Amino acid sequence: MQHYAVTDTEFGNPALRQQGCVLVIGNLDGVHNGHRALLRAAKTLAAEKNVKLAVMSFAPHPRLFFAPDAPRFLLTDDETKAALLAECGVDCLYSVQFNAVTAAMSALDFIKTLPVATTGCGHVIVGEDFRFGKNRLGDVEILKKAGGAYGYDVTAVLLHGDGEAPVSSSRIRDYIRTGDIAAANALLGRSWFYPLILPENACATEKNGICAAEAAPENPDLLPPADGYYTGTLRCKRTGAETAAFVLHNGTDLVKIYFDALRLAPSQSPPRPPPQPKGGSILFLPKARRTDAPKEGEIIAALAERCGKEQNETNLNKREYS
pLDDT the model gives residue 22: 98
Whole-number mean pLDDT of the chain? 87
Q: Are residues 18 and 153 in the same domain?
A: yes
pLDDT the model gives residue 164: 62
Domain assignment present for 181: no
Segment (H or E) for 164: none
Q: Are residues 65 and 203 in the same domain?
A: no
From 157, 186, 219, the end of a domain falls on 157
Higher-pLDDT residue of 86, 160: 86
**pLDDT over 50 at 318, yes or no:** no
Q: Are residues 142 and 221 in the same domain?
A: no
Q: What is the CA radius of gyration of the chain?
A: 23
Whether the pTM exceeds 0.85: the reply is: yes
Nearest to 129 by CA among 240, 15, 256, 34: 34
**Overall residue count recorded for the chain in this entry:** 322
Q: Are residues 43 and 120 in the same domain?
A: yes
pLDDT the model gives residue 247: 92
Q: Are residues 210 and 136 in the same domain?
A: no
* Amino acid symbol at 315: N
Q: Is 113 helix (H, G, I), strand (E, B) or coil?
A: helix
Span of 151-165, 195-209, 221-235, 262-276 with lowest mean pLDDT: 262-276
Q: Are residues 198 and 127 in the same domain?
A: no
Name the most confidently modeled range: 67-71, 86-90, 154-158, 303-307: 86-90
Span of 70-74, 155-159, 290-294 with lowest mean pLDDT: 290-294
Q: How far apart are CA 241 and CA 263, in angstroms?
A: 7
Q: Are residues 136 and 278 in the same domain?
A: no
DSSP 240-267: --EEEEEEEE-SSS-EEEEE-HHHHSTT
Higher-pLDDT residue of 243, 222: 222
What domain count does the chain have?
2
Name the most confidently modeled range: 12-26, 193-207, 300-314: 12-26
pLDDT the model gives residue 40: 94
Percent of the chain with pLDDT over 90: 66
Q: Is the distance from CB of 26 to CB of 127 less than 8 angstroms? A: yes
Q: Are residues 6 and 151 in the same domain?
A: yes
**pLDDT over 80 at 63, yes or no:** yes
Beta strands of the chain (E only): which ranges?
A: 2-6, 22-25, 53-59, 92-97, 123-127, 153-157, 194-198, 205-207, 210-217, 228-236, 242-249, 255-259, 280-290
63, HSE (Cβ side, Cα atoms, 13 Å): 11
Span of 91-100, 174-183, 199-208, 244-253 with lowest mean pLDDT: 199-208
321, HSE (Cβ side, Cα atoms, 13 Å): 6
Higher-pLDDT residue of 245, 320: 245
Q: Are residues 139 and 208 in the same domain?
A: no
Residues spanned by the domain of 17: 2-157
Q: Using pLDDT thresholds of 50, 70 and 90, give the confidence band for residue 205.
A: low
Domain assignment present for 177: no
Q: Which letter does DSSP use for residue 203 in this model? A: T
Q: Are residues 81 and 207 in the same domain?
A: no
Q: What is the CATH number of the domain that holds 299?
A: 2.40.30
pLDDT the model gives residue 308: 62
The angle that helices 181-188 and 33-49 make with each other, rounded to 10 degrees, is 10
φ/ψ region of 90 (left if φ > 0, alpha if ψ in -120 to 50, else beta) reads: beta
Domain assignment present for 34: yes
From 108, 133, 157, the end of a domain falls on 157
pLDDT tens for 259-282 read 887 777 644 444 344 444 445 788
Span of 135-149, 180-194, 253-267 with lowest mean pLDDT: 253-267
What number is the average pLDDT over the span 138-164?
89
What number is the average pLDDT over the span 180-184?
95
Q: Which letter does DSSP use for residue 138 in this model? A: B
Q: Are residues 207 and 130 in the same domain?
A: no
pLDDT the model gives residue 251: 80
Q: Are residues 14 and 152 in the same domain?
A: yes
